[in-house]
């Protein structure tokens, strides 16, 4: 049963305000029910424990100068989420396939960067914003359509870089890297890390930080020196700034050894009871893993078919019982018709599923695929 009203940042929002009968609305009930969860605000939850550990680093390194916010509504305007941070008008992230829209002007933020411009305008110069973010996505152990990010932002004025004698942009980039290397050491201890150049519309230069973990390089955050245009538009023409955005689940999966991103949403006591306030990095002990059950579905696709839409049908039917959706066959025949075969892994982390139950889910998936996408099942 889905609660019909949620409170977001002190404002009551009804289900029909979010899951609306509007041609541009693509928010399902399963997402509406996530809006009230606020996992990052629970001191005994791995995401809350991690958030607090990052707070601790900033408080001690910057003598409590960073302001902290974790209660901003995830419902924002297209302008805040994209235009204000210079995302080009034809960027894929704006599409209905990638982002949840309430209507053509309102959406569920897909990153915490959506709050940068407003905070700048309001005069904040050093802040951390933590919150739930949403992204239409495929299904596997590290992807989930709702997750959590923390945004960090620091504004400098001429006094700061003039004294150093170096160029303002270099000054900000150097300070940013020093800050985040310190954070990585605070969380992981002595780890190998490396900086990789990348691109974001809102920063230049832009970097990703990777840490060496279990014999592999793992991307943990994106960051960079804020585009001057963003500062200029928000009354900070004479300043430079840096920004970063980190994914809390990514870091928490590593720090707590949590193997599947669905677990963060589990209310099973065998999960929740393993974590306590202030205890960063206590390793999660898997409770008996029940076997997965695989079911295949093949159909001829049409131009409007997308994998994200298919995954949303699967999640709508199976919820968190859907562990993974994999495209296992893809071919085009002589007539130019394309067929996809997807393998769905069903698995509960809490109990074993019956054949009957899984067959029932698979029939519902088949049914909805036929009706919603107007495709022919093979
Ligand atoms: N918003 C970016 C993302 O979601 C992360 C980021 C934040 C990058 C701030 C640079 C500066 O991937």
DSSP letter string over 126-166? EEEEEEEEE-----BTTB-SEEEEEEEEEEE-HHHHHTTTS
Ligand 1, atom 6: closest residue by C-alpha: 245
Give residue 215's pLDDT.
84
Pocket of ligand 1 (CB under 6 A): 111, 113, 151, 200, 202-203, 222-224, 243-245
Domain with CATH 3.30.70.380 in the chain: 293-377
Superfamily classification of domain 5-265: Bira Bifunctional Protein; Domain 2 (3.30.930.10)
The alpha carbon of 245 and the centre of ligand 1 are apart by a number of angstroms equal to 4
Diameter over CA atoms, the chain: 72
Read off the pLDDT band of 2 (50, 70, 90). Answer: low
What strands lie across the sheet with 75-77, from one edge to the other?
Answer: 75-77, 106-108, 101-103
For a pocket test of ligand 1, which of 113, 205, 242 has the largest count of ligand atoms closer than 8 A to its C-beta? 113
Read off the pLDDT band of 84 (50, 70, 90). Answer: very high
Angle, helices 248-256 vs 46-61, to 10°: value is: 100
Ligand 1, atom 9: closest residue by C-alpha: 244
Averaged pLDDT for residues 49-72: 97
Alpha helices in 222-268, H assignment, sequence order: 228-233, 248-256
Tokens 């960063």 locate to 280
What are the distances in angstroms from CA 80 to CA 22, 55, 71, 280, 316? 21, 25, 17, 33, 28
CA angle 339, 345, 350 (to 5 degrees): 160
Superfamily classification of domain 293-377: Ferrodoxin-fold anticodon-binding domain (3.30.70.380)
What are the distances in angstroms from CA 34 to CA 8, 155, 172, 224, 264? 11, 33, 36, 30, 12
Indicate whether 254 pLDDT > 80. Answer: yes
The alpha carbon of 227 and the centre of ligand 1 are apart by a number of angstroms equal to 12
Tell me the per-residue pLDDT of 155-181, one tens digit each, with 9 for 90 and over: 999 999 998 889 999 999 999 999 999
Round to whole Å and give the CA distance between 267 and 186.
Answer: 29
Indicate whether 248 pLDDT > 90. Answer: yes
Indicate whether 272 pLDDT > 70. Answer: yes
The alpha carbon of 378 and the centre of ligand 1 are apart by a number of angstroms equal to 42
272 DSSP assignment: H
For a pocket test of ligand 1, which of 131, 202, 227 has the largest count of ligand atoms closer than 8 A to its C-beta? 202
The alpha carbon of 208 and the centre of ligand 1 are apart by a number of angstroms equal to 9
Averaged pLDDT for residues 304-319: 95
Ligand 1, atom 10: closest residue by C-alpha: 223
Indicate whether 1 pLDDT > 80. Answer: no
Indicate whether 7 pLDDT > 80. Answer: yes
Round to whole Å and give the CA distance between 241 and 225.
Answer: 6
Averaged pLDDT for residues 115-130: 98
Atom of ligand 1 nearest to the CA of 246: 5
Averaged pLDDT for residues 327-344: 96
Which distant-in-sequence residues (6+ apart) come within 8 Å of 275 by Cβ? 44, 45, 46, 49, 256, 282
The alpha carbon of 62 and the centre of ligand 1 are apart by a number of angstroms equal to 22
- What is the token pair recorded at 224? 């960079």
Indicate whether 218 pLDDT > 90. Answer: no
Indicate whether 3 pLDDT > 90. Answer: no
Which distant-in-sequence residues (6+ apart) come within 8 Å of 254 by Cβ? 188, 213, 218
The alpha carbon of 126 and the centre of ligand 1 are apart by a number of angstroms equal to 16
Give residue 316's pLDDT.
94
The alpha carbon of 210 and the centre of ligand 1 are apart by a number of angstroms equal to 14
Tell how strand 67-69 and strand 126-134 pair up.
parallel
Atom of ligand 1 nearest to the CA of 223: 10
The alpha carbon of 266 and the centre of ligand 1 are apart by a number of angstroms equal to 27
Read off the pLDDT band of 216 (50, 70, 90). Answer: confident
Ligand 1, atom 12: closest residue by C-alpha: 222
Which distant-in-sequence residues (6+ apart) come within 8 Å of 352 by Cβ? 290, 291
Indicate whether 213 pLDDT > 80. Answer: no
Round to whole Å and give the CA distance between 375 and 204.
Answer: 44
Give residue 190's pLDDT.
84
CA angle 184, 169, 234 (to 5 degrees): 95
Indicate whether 45 pLDDT > 70. Answer: yes
Averaged pLDDT for residues 234-252: 96
- Lowest pLDDT segment from 46-50, 215-219, 304-308: 215-219
C-alpha torsion angle, residues 200, 201, 206, 207 (rounded to 10): -10
Atom of ligand 1 nearest to the CA of 116: 9
Read off the pLDDT band of 374 (50, 70, 90). Answer: confident
Give residue 138's pLDDT.
92
Task: Collapse the DSSP code of 48 into the 3-class scheme (helix H, G, I; strand E, B; otherwise coil) and give the result.
Answer: helix
Indicate whether 98 pLDDT > 80. Answer: yes
The whole-chain average pLDDT of the chain stands at 95
The alpha carbon of 185 and the centre of ligand 1 are apart by a number of angstroms equal to 21
Domain with CATH 3.30.930.10 in the chain: 5-265
Atom of ligand 1 nearest to the CA of 221: 5
For a pocket test of ligand 1, which of 85, 241, 245 has the largest count of ligand atoms closer than 8 A to its C-beta? 245
Task: Say whether the peptide bond before residue 16 is cis (omega within 30 degrees of 0).
Answer: no
The alpha carbon of 130 and the centre of ligand 1 are apart by a number of angstroms equal to 13
Round to whole Å and give the CA distance between 109 and 130.
Answer: 12
């Amino acid at each position: 049963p889905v609660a019909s009203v949620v409170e977001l940042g002190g404002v009551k929002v009804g289900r029909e305000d979010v899951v609306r009968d509007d041609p541009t609305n693509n928010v399902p009930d399963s997402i509406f029910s996530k809006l009230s969860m606020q996992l990052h605000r629970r001191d005994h939850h791995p995401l809350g424990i991690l958030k607090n550990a990052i707070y601790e680093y900033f408080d001690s390194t910057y003598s409590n100068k960073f302001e902290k916010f974790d209660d901003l509504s995830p419902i924002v305007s297209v302008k805040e989420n994209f235009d204000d941070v210079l995302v080009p008008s034809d960027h894929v992230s704006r599409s209905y396939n990638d982002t949840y829209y309430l209507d053509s002007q309102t959406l569920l933020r897909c990153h915490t960067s959506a709050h940068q411009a407003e905070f700048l305008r309001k005069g904040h110069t050093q802040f951390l914003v933590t919150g739930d973010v949403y992204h239409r996505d495929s299904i596997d152990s590290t992807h989930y359509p709702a997750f959590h990010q923390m945004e960090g932002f620091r504004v400098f004025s001429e006094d700061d870089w003039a004294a150093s004698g170096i160029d303002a942009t270099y000054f900000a980039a150097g300070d940013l890297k020093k800050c985040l290397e310190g954070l990585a050491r605070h969380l992981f201890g002595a780890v190998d890390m490396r900086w990789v150049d990348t691109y974001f519309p809102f920063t230049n230069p832009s970097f990703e930080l990777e840490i060496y973990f279990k014999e592999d390089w793992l991307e943990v955050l994106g960051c960079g020196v804020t585009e001057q245009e963003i500062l200029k538009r928000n009354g900070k023409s004479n300043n430079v700034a840096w920004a970063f955005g980190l994914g809390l689940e990514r870091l928490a999966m590593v720090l707590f050894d949590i193997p599947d991103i669905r677990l963060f949403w589990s209310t099973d006591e065998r999960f929740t009871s393993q974590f306590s306030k202030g205890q960063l990095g206590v390793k999660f002990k898997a409770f008996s893993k029940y076997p997965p059950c695989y079911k295949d579905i093949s159909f001829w696709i049409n131009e409007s078919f997308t994998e994200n839409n298919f995954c949303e049908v699967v999640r709508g039917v199976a919820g968190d019982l859907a562990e993974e959706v994999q495209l296992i066959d893809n071919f085009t025949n002589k007539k130019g018709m394309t067929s996809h075969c997807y393998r769905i892994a069903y698995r509960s982390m809490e109990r074993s599923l019956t054949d009957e139950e899984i067959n029932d889910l698979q029939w519902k998936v088949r049914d909805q695929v036929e009706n919603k996408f107007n495709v022919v099942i093979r």
